Amino acid sequence: MSEELSFTLDGRRVPFQDGQTIMTAALAAGFYIPHLCFNPEFTPHGSCRVCLVKINGRMQASCTTPAAAGQTVLSEIEEVREMRRGILQMLFVEGNHVCPACEKSGACQLQAVAYYAGMLAPHYTHFYPRRPVDASHPDALIDFNRCILCELCVRASRDVDGKNVFAVQGRGIKAHLVVNTPSGKLGATDFNITDKAAQVCPTGTILRKHSGYEIPIGQRLYDRKPINVVGDVAALAVSKGGRRHD
């Protein structure tokens, strides 16, 4: 019987199988690496960079880097944490993330990851972009102010729902989420609130209408325990038997 493949994550041994990334192996072993654009049900994207870890001395995204035997992976060291905080701070100032009044607050993956990473303030100057809300759909609302361009809704709508409702348009700082209709309005699409694309947003961008704040403070997903203990929407999906959509 051959010896089990493994690498170390912050000094702890993590077994893996061929084809797994550092992220998937770590999550499977019960170790949390913060992430936003990663969702085990979808092909890794590597765009948010929040899952940066130091692998054999080099900074790399753990969601896209294949696990290899003998790797030394460092995640919870100050050098990595500082970079993560910087990335999160830039995400917060690039959009309009008003956590105190947001209905996703307490159950928001972005907010929970920021808490986990020790981000106490946005630090950078806010961009304050003007992004009108799209409430044209009877059951769903898109608040573009909170979009971090993780493209999970794009992937879910394309790969699972087969609808291609969403896309990212523009490049660099001008990149933004759009709805694939001539009017650009969600109400003009065949989007349904039960679609996969409606379930995967890690922020408060795609929301079910008329139901905000229904869960009392104290009972929301991250009110009592942090995200590394509770897990995120993606991890919860896997634990409930969610499958990967390649």
Partner 1 sequence: MSTLETAAQSDTLCRVAIDPLSRVEGHGKVTLLVDRDHRIRQARLHIVEFRGFEKFIQGRPYWELPVVVQRLCGICPVSHHLAAAKAVDQLLGIEQIPPTAEKIRRLMHYGQTLQSHAVHFFHLASPDFLFDFDDKVAHRNVVGVMADHPDIARQGVKLRKYGQEVIRCTAGKRVHGTGAIPGGVNKSLSLRERNDLLTDIDLMAQWARNIVKLMKIAYQANPAYFIHFATIRTNYLSLTRADGALDLYHGGLRAKNEQGALLFDHLDYRRYAQVLREQVKPWSYMKFPFINSLGPDKGWYRVGPLARIDNCDFIATPLAEEERKEFMALGNGEPIHVTLAYHWARMIELLHAIEAIKELLLDPDIFGDELVAKGEMAPREGIGVIEAPRGTLFHHYRMNEDGLIEKANLIVSTTNNNQAMNESIRQVAERYLDGKELTEPLLNQIEVAVRAYDPCLSCATHALGQMPLYVELVEEESGTLVDCLVRDTDGTVRNEASALAAGN
Q: Using CB under 8 A as the criterion, which residues of the chain lie in contact with partner 1 when the complex forms? A: 100-101, 103, 132-133, 135-136, 141, 187, 209-218
Are the C-beta atoms of residues 34 and 51 closer than 8 Å to each other? yes
> CB of 210: closest distance to partner 1 in angstroms?
6
Copy the structure tokens of residue 127.
Answer: 């961009």
**Relative orientation angle of helices 109-117 and 78-94, to the nearest 10 degrees:** 140
In the bound state with partner 1, the residue whose beta carbon lies nearer, of 1 and 217, is: 217
> CB of 121: closest distance to partner 1 in angstroms?
18
**Given CA atoms 212, 166, 227, 235 in this order, what sign does their dihedral have?**
positive
> CB of 156: closest distance to partner 1 in angstroms?
23
What's the distance, CA 43 to chain centroid?
A: 13
The closest alpha carbon to 137, from 96, 215, 198, belongs to: 198
In the bound state with partner 1, the residue whose beta carbon lies nearer, of 13 and 225, is: 225
In the bound state with partner 1, the residue whose beta carbon lies nearer, of 78 and 214, is: 214
> CB of 214: closest distance to partner 1 in angstroms?
6
The closest alpha carbon to 75, from 47, 109, 117, belongs to: 117
Backbone angles phi, psi at 207, to 5 degrees: -125, 150
In the bound state with partner 1, the residue whose beta carbon lies nearer, of 162 and 218, is: 218
> CB of 91: closest distance to partner 1 in angstroms?
21
Question: Residue 184 and residue 166: Cα distance in Å, rounded?
Answer: 10
Q: Counting beta carbons within 10 angstroms of the beta carbon of residue 167, is it exposed (0 to 12), middle (13 to 18) or buried (19 or more)?
A: middle
In the bound state with partner 1, the residue whose beta carbon lies nearer, of 202 and 204, is: 204
> CB of 216: closest distance to partner 1 in angstroms?
4
In the bound state with partner 1, the residue whose beta carbon lies nearer, of 209 and 244, is: 209
